[in-house]
Chains A and B, each alone.
Chain A
């Protein structure tokens, strides 16, 4: 049973436009959410996180939104750049097991020049 789901395996966006990556979760105990970016032949790189006491966190071109009632989070990238082309993973953890992250299966983003 997948507790963290990324239902879109891929997304293609024009350079300069907004990229929206989505993630759903089922465990209501999750209270800390993260996004990672992964290039081929490299490890995942931490991008941005949000705790459940917030509904939005922004860092430069990256914004994460959390909708707890819908158990949904999204990552917005504005404006998208070709260098953003990568696989994006969302991950979640619960305070009582804060060491463990549960990852989604990833979404491959392609930003077209």
Chain B
């Protein structure tokens, strides 16, 4: 079974803080993704990576950056957290051409 692990289930941070969300997958997948899920909006893609050190912007990259130094790890960075970044964040991984497998999510609150 594919295992995608997100480092925190719940996180509370303050406005202006730099926030790191970590994701690790154990299936040697090439692709990794970060989404946010908001009520009524489904899942929206923030960034994805198709190889180590490679990244591409998704649909809503503003205010975020990512890092992929190792194949199994993909980090999402909120450079200066704002209240409108309060959301559920989901990490996923996939083989090329295969379905994406998701972690259990990090519920992030920015106060």
The chain A residues found within 8 Å of chain B, CB to CB, are 4, 6, 9, 34, 36, 41-46, 49, 89, 91, 98-101, 103-106
Contact = CB atoms under 8 A, between A and B. Distances in A.
Contacts of A46: 99-101
27 contacts: A4-B42, A34-B99, A41-B9, A41-B105, A42-B105, A43-B102, A43-B104, A44-B90, A44-B102, A46-B99, A46-B101, A49-B99, A89-B43, A98-B96, A98-B97, A99-B31, A99-B48, A99-B50, A99-B56, A99-B94, A100-B48, A101-B43, A101-B45, A103-B35, A103-B42, A103-B44, A104-B42
Nearest to B91: A43
Nearest to A39: B104
Contacts, number: 52
Nearest to B94: A99
**Is chain B's interface secondary structure helix, strand, loop, or mixed overall?**
strand
A44 B99 contact: no
Interface of B: 4, 9, 31, 33, 35, 40-45, 48, 50, 56, 58, 90, 92, 94, 96-97, 99-105
**Is chain A's interface secondary structure helix, strand, loop, or mixed overall?**
loop
Contacts of B45: 100-101
Contacts of A4: 42
